Chain A
């Protein structure tokens, strides 16, 4: 398996522009998570899905952020409009619930810079 695939690896955009981050989870996994990593706040959970349904979006910073999972093999995180404080590394992770605990498998992340 190729693992969790995220695109793009790097994104540079100007303030006010729309940004779309993409994630392909590991085939067969039923959970998908979006995390954001910054020096100031560390690793924050933004939202997670179970069987394509959003379960908890309490970590989404504000209405400018939205996430979708139209099918089991694809998810997007959109920021509209983007702001410089959104600059961070955004990670997607997936897992399969098989028992009392599950490993998270992370993608390599998208480095977002908003100028």
Chain B
């Protein structure tokens, strides 16, 4: 079965510093991977996706993610964190079969950016 794991419940970073939110995946076949962000009292919002092609994927709000097949990872990164980036981040993988947009989400990582 397709799955993703987010090993960190929370990541703390100072404003202006680079940030990384980790995600590893387990899939059969080619992975379709996604990052979503959830701000307080809001629904999830799409950030970026990896389908195929370049291993470095650029997304919204200056975020990017690096697909690493050998390490089965898809870490979310940003060169310089902002306080406004503080939110809950979810990694997701497309499930096999059924709808192409049926996603399986990780448990989420809370990103806290200190001023």
Q: Is A93 an interface residue, CB under 8 A from the partner?
A: yes
A106 contacts B44, CB within 8 Å?
Answer: yes
Minimum CB–CB distance from A24 to chain B (whole Å) comes to 13
B108 contacts A43, CB within 8 Å?
Answer: yes
| Other A-B pairs, 4, CB within 8 Å; known A45-B102, A101-B101, A109-B41 | A42-B106, A100-B100, A101-B34, A109-B43
Stretch at the interface among A14-22, A48-56, A62-70, A76-84: A48-56
What is the interface of chain B, defined by CB distance below 8 A to chain A? 32, 34, 36, 41-46, 49, 51, 90, 94, 98-108
How many chain A residues have a CB neighbour from B under 8 Å?
24
- CB-defined contacts of B36 to chain A, threshold 8 Å: 104
B98 contacts A56, CB within 8 Å?
Answer: yes
- CB-defined contacts of A85 to chain B, threshold 8 Å: none
A56 contacts B102, CB within 8 Å?
Answer: yes
- CB-defined contacts of B100 to chain A, threshold 8 Å: 97, 100-102
A108 is contacted by which of B34, B41, B51, B99 (Cβ under 8 Å)? B41
A101 contacts B94, CB within 8 Å?
Answer: yes
A106 contacts B99, CB within 8 Å?
Answer: no
B98 contacts A43, CB within 8 Å?
Answer: no
- CB-defined contacts of B98 to chain A, threshold 8 Å: 55-56
A93 to B44, CA, bound (A): 9
